[in-house]
Amino acid sequence: MGNIVSLRKVAKRYTRGKEVVEVLHSLDLDIAEGDFVALMGPSGSGKTTLLNLIGGLDRPTEGEVIVAGEHIDRLSGAALARWRARHVGFVFQFYNLMPMLSAQANVELPLLLTHLSAAQRRANALTALTIVGLADRARHKPSELSGGQQQRVAIARALVADPTLLVCDEPTGDLDRRTADEILGLLQVLNREHGKTIIMVTHDPKAAEYARRQLHMDKGALVDGQQVS
Amino acid sequence: MKYFPLLWATLWRKKTRTIFTLLSIVVAFLLFGMLQGVNAAFQQGVNNANVNRLIVTSRISLTEPLPIAQKPLIEAVPGVAGIAYASWFGAYYQEQKNFVFATPVDIDDYLKVVPELKIAPDQVEALKRTRTGLIVGLDLLQKYGWKVGDRIPLHSTIWVKKDDGNSDWPFDIVGTYDFTTDRSQNNGALFNYSYFDEARTFGAGTIGWWIVSVRDPNQSAQIAAAIDKLFENSPDETKSQSEKEFAQSFLKQFGDINFIVQAILGAVFFTLLFLTGNTMMQAVRERIPELAVLKTLGFSDTKVTVLVLAESLLLCLIAAALGLLLASLLFPMLKDYIGAVKLPTSVLVSGAGIAVLLALATGGLPAWRAKRLVIVDALAGR
Ligand SMILES: Nc1ncnc2c1ncn2[C@@H]1O[C@H](COP(=O)(O)OP(=O)(O)OP(=O)(O)O)[C@@H](O)[C@H]1O
Ligand SMILES: [Mg+2]
């Protein structure tokens, strides 16, 4: 299978006043289609920065970012937004759901950008909620759901538009062990049975074990890769 | 519009705050509707004024009488088509607040100069036959439940009757009139000058003002000048104005209504701008993480901007619609004071326009902020 993510000599620098901080140093990375990658490393090593570049939320200072066949470092803001809608599903540590919308409406949000009819949007959202095991909570607001349930809704939202790639930044960082295992099991099912490519940042070695491959970052560079399972 | 549920949910996120903001906009637009309605009704009077007519008053003041002897002199001015007169009678019915604009006229002259006033011919004859006859505007008749044939007293605040020293003038209603071009004038009354002039204790042989119709409205200014020239340096100098100018200067007696209305509304909307703008800004600030998520999901900067503007538009339009609806329900209650019955459509249209401007003004800054929001910074709480 081909690579779905290719980073070539990617550098990211921030300028604070006169001081220039290089957060990523000339980084090369390939991720194959269908892979499940756990990205680990100490706080401040640049994991989120790297993930944001892959997900098209940010642009590199130098180098090329080719994801799903597109040079996304070259896309304009609007084109990049369209590209994200088409190719990437995001899951965050703190779920980031819309508090005033029901689970169903939250999951439907990405579909507003498609040409689907209202009925199709509803049906697809319900399917996504069924996949994450929350079909019976469709009408609930995020405040009426547990943390694990909210994260499932977030995963359903990330899935619903059938993206090429799932990008998760510490998806279990806010959950207890058992709930974390449920969420990680769900991600594993999505990877194994639905063929979703997943890149997940985590601090938790147990969580990383769910992935096929672990990557370690330190001070803005990848240290070594090891194959799991 | 598929974004509506999202907009609606966002708008009602903080219910109390939205309701208070909504209420303050509703009140502002209620005020706008009422004040502009009054203003428009007055301006309507000015606009309905006939360009074919001049109003000739005393140069000294509107209330200073003029001698009836001026009539043939004015009539002889080239370009004058007809002349009639009227006088202040200062009448009220039963109670002081029931002001009635009743004026003594020579009915034949008056109808010639004011042809829009429609009276059945037999009722005109009845007025001429009946010394104390009164022709009543259709609205006035209805207001007090009068009927043709009724005898009613009108109390004059100016004139006392010679025979009994009484200010209550008895009248016999002999007919009705309909002022076809401006129904707001259907609350007056006309009666015989002869009755008035013979019965009053003083002022015999004088009238209040002349109403002069001209053959060619383009000549109005010259004819007005010619009339005034006629009485220059006489004890009864005149001031001739087109009916429109007259209506305008009459309004000015109460102050510059237009200016007052605009000043009040200006202050109200200025305050509203800050209030609503602040609310919107606060709402957007609270929602920065959510807006960042929308952008993450692939909503473009433009789309997010439009959503924020649409939210402010939704709020302003709903509130304006409620306020203007209230105003159009309450406005007819002012009928007795200003004559107009319906809130003019022009007020509703300009109200809608102002609501849009208000929305753009208050939503502009938050929308700009939402547009500029950088996803990674917002997600990291920077
Ligand atoms: N916009 C920015 N301006 C300046 N410095 C930044 C900016 N964004 C990130 N950094 C810096 O880049 C470095 C890497 O940040 P990043 O968020 O990628 O770390 P991380 O590995 O995800 O850490 P954590 O595990 O705590 O989430 C940090 O030192 C951070 O301070
Ligand atoms: Mg991070």
What span, in angstroms and rounded, lies between the C-alpha atoms of B382 and B379?
8
| Residue A39 confidence (pLDDT) above 50 | yes
Kindly give the distance from the C-alpha atom of residue A96 to the centroid of ligand 1, in angstroms, as a whole number. 19
**Do the chains contact at A81 and B5, CB–CB below 8 Å?**
no
Looking at residue B343, its pLDDT comes to 83
By Cβ distance, the residue of B5, B290, B300 closest to A81 is B300
| Residue A98 confidence (pLDDT) above 90 | yes
From chain A, the residues in CB contact with B302 under 8 A are 78
Looking at residue A225, its pLDDT comes to 52
Looking at residue A229, its pLDDT comes to 44
- Is the dihedral angle over the CA atoms A80, A85, A90, A95 positive or is it negative? positive
Averaged confidence pLDDT in chain A:
92
Kindly give the distance from the C-alpha atom of residue A220 to the centroid of ligand 1, in angstroms, as a whole number. 10
Looking at residue A227, its pLDDT comes to 47
**Domain definitions of chain A by residue range:** 33-59+76-227
Q: Please provide the CATH number assigned to the domain covering A33-59+76-227.
A: 3.40.50.300
Looking at residue B337, its pLDDT comes to 67
Beta carbon of A113 within 6 Å of any ligand 1 atom: no
Average pLDDT, integer, range A56-83: 93
Beta carbon of A20 within 6 Å of any ligand 1 atom: no
Residues forming a β-bridge with B155: B92, B168
Q: Which residues of chain B have pLDDT under 70?
A: 253-255, 336-341
Beta carbon of A43 within 6 Å of any ligand 1 atom: yes
Q: Could you tell me which residues come within 8 angstroms of residue B117 by beta carbon, excluding any fewer than 6 positions away?
A: B110, B111, B177, B178, B179, B180
Q: Which ligand is nearest to the CA of A40?
A: 1
Please, what is the angle between helix B15-48 and helix B301-330, to 10°? 60
Tally C-beta pairs within 8 A across A and B: 67
Name the closest residue on chain B to residue A108, using Cα atoms.
Answer: B6
The answer to whether A48 contacts chain B (CB < 8 Å) is: yes
Pairing of β A197-201 and β A213-218: unpaired
Which residue is listed with tokens 């004139």? B159
Average pLDDT, integer, range A199-210: 94
Tokens representing B280? 């919107």
Burial of B375 (0-12, 13-18, 19+ CB in 10 A): buried
Looking at residue A228, its pLDDT comes to 46
The answer to whether A95 contacts chain B (CB < 8 Å) is: no
From chain B, the residues in CB contact with A105 under 8 A are 5-6, 9
Q: Could you tell me which residues come within 8 angstroms of residue A189 by beta carbon, excluding any fewer than 6 positions away?
A: none
Residues forming a β-bridge with A216: A40
Q: Please report, for residues A6, B80, B157, the alpha-carbon distance to residue A66 in angstroms, rounded to integers and kept in the order given.
A: 5, 90, 93
For atom 12 of ligand 1, the residue with the nearest CA is: A23
From chain A, the residues in CB contact with B297 under 8 A are 84-85, 90, 109-110, 113, 157
**Do the chains contact at B302 and A92, CB–CB below 8 Å?**
no
pTM for this entry: 0.73
Average pLDDT, integer, range A203-227: 86
The answer to whether A98 contacts chain B (CB < 8 Å) is: yes
| Residue A226 confidence (pLDDT) above 60 | no
| Residue A66 confidence (pLDDT) above 90 | yes
Looking at residue B350, its pLDDT comes to 92
